[in-house]
Structures are given as structure tokens and as C-alpha cells.
Amino acid sequence: GENVEQHPSTLSVQEGDSAVIKCTYSDSASNYFPWYKQELGKRPQLIIDIRSNVGEKKDQRIAVTLNKTAKHFSLHITETQPEDSAVYFCAASDSNQAGTALIFGKGTTLSVSS
């Protein structure tokens, strides 16, 4: 089955710096890669996702890149702000199989200091 590895487990940056979180996956059938942000005591919130027919996707300060050949995808946050501090999870699934469950990485705790 699918296995998702996420690095780093913790990341500390200064406000205004960029942050990059990387994930690798094992199942070549996976073609949907969402990223979730989870603030303390809250539910995971979908912030951006990418499908395998796209190499990069941007939404304001966040972007996700995908390298299908190497089976890795990354989350990029530019101009970080204190409110970006949270735990970020990557995940993978085969969206062609309706209702396929997400396989999550173990999470990255991002701390942005002002």
C-alpha cells in the first residue's frame, strides 16, 4: 500500500522567510496530493492540492510542486507570517478510485517567529 514520508518534522523560520516542506510517496497509482494545515486544537483544513496532471499550483503565498518521476511533492510558503504557525500534513491518494482514503505523512510543525 501507499506510504508517505514527510520532512522535516519541525521547521522554525523568521517572519518573512520562506518555508519548504517535502513529502515522498511510494505508490505510482497515487495522483492526488493535498496539503492540510492544522492549528492547535482545530481540525485539519485543506489549504491546497495538486493532481498528477499538473506540475505546480499556486495560491497567493503558498504553492505546491510535484515531481511524478521522483515521487515527491513539496509545499512552499513565501513571506511567512506568524499566523502560518501550525502543523502541516501532506497526503496522497488515487483520486481515480472514488472514495479512496488519504494516506498522510506524519506532519511538520512550522513555527514562524516575529
Partner 1 sequence: DAGITQSPRYKITETGRQVTLMCHQTWSHSYMFWYRQDLGHGLRLIYYSAAADITDKGEVPDGYVVSRSKTENFPLTLESATRSQTSVYFCASSGLGTSGRAAYEQYFGPGTRLTVT
Q: Which is nearer to partner 1, 48 or 112 (CB)?
A: 48
Q: Tell me which stretch binds partner 1 (CB under 8 A): 21-29, 54-62, 72-80, 88-96.
A: 88-96
Q: Is 105 an interacting residue with respect to partner 1 (CB under 8 A)? A: yes
The footprint of partner 1 on this chain (CB under 8 A) covers a number of residues equal to 23
Residues 33, 45: Cα–Cα separation, whole Å:
14
* Interface residue with partner 1, options 20, 32, 57, 111 (CB under 8 A): 32
Binding mask 55-84 for partner 1 (x = CB under 8 A): ------------------------------
DSSP per residue over 5-53, as a string? EEE-SEEEEETT--EEEEEEE--TT--EEEEEEE-TTS--EEEEEEETT
